Amino acid sequence: MTETAAVEPMKVHLSGSDLPLITPERKRCRRGTSLRTFVLTANDPVQQILPQNTNRIEAYIQCVDDPAVAFSIHDSLADAQAGGNAGVTVPAANTGPYPLHTNDAVWATAAGPDLPVTVSISAVIEADE
């Protein structure tokens, strides 16, 4: 017969943790939606489609034209007017909403035979109550 020693629990003191001991109360906030449509024409091929807004939590851009045409988005008026590689080209094959992950101003431009181009913008804005 073997003897088994009684196991005594070890005392532990937690001095800090990455996990909160209570769930903090969620801060109340208001959310609003901004929906806009812009038409890029030969006379006005560059337009600011979103202003700078630190409260914007998400935004989407979508071509309304059928069939969809390619256009590009830029973070400044100078880049949009110059064209080139400074922007992001939204491909014509992309028929769904294209996400814009920025709080900065956004400019859109289109050129060539695709004009006029109609683009739709939707943005979700969040603010404290």
Give alpha helix (H) positions in 14-102: 77-82
Sign of the Cα torsion 114, 119, 103, 51 reads: positive
Assigned CATH for 29-128 = 2.60.120.770
Nearest one of 126, 124, 113, 127 to 41, comparing CA atoms: 113
pLDDT interval class at 96 (50, 70, 90): confident
Give alpha helix (H) positions in 1-129: 77-82
pLDDT at 83: 73
Report the Cα 124 to chain-centroid distance in Å: 9
Q: For 3-31, how does the pLDDT look when each residue is reduced to its tens digit (9 = 90+)? A: 677 788 888 766 666 766 677 777 788 99
Look up the pTM and report it.
0.71
Instruction: Show me where the domains of the chain are located.
Output: 29-128
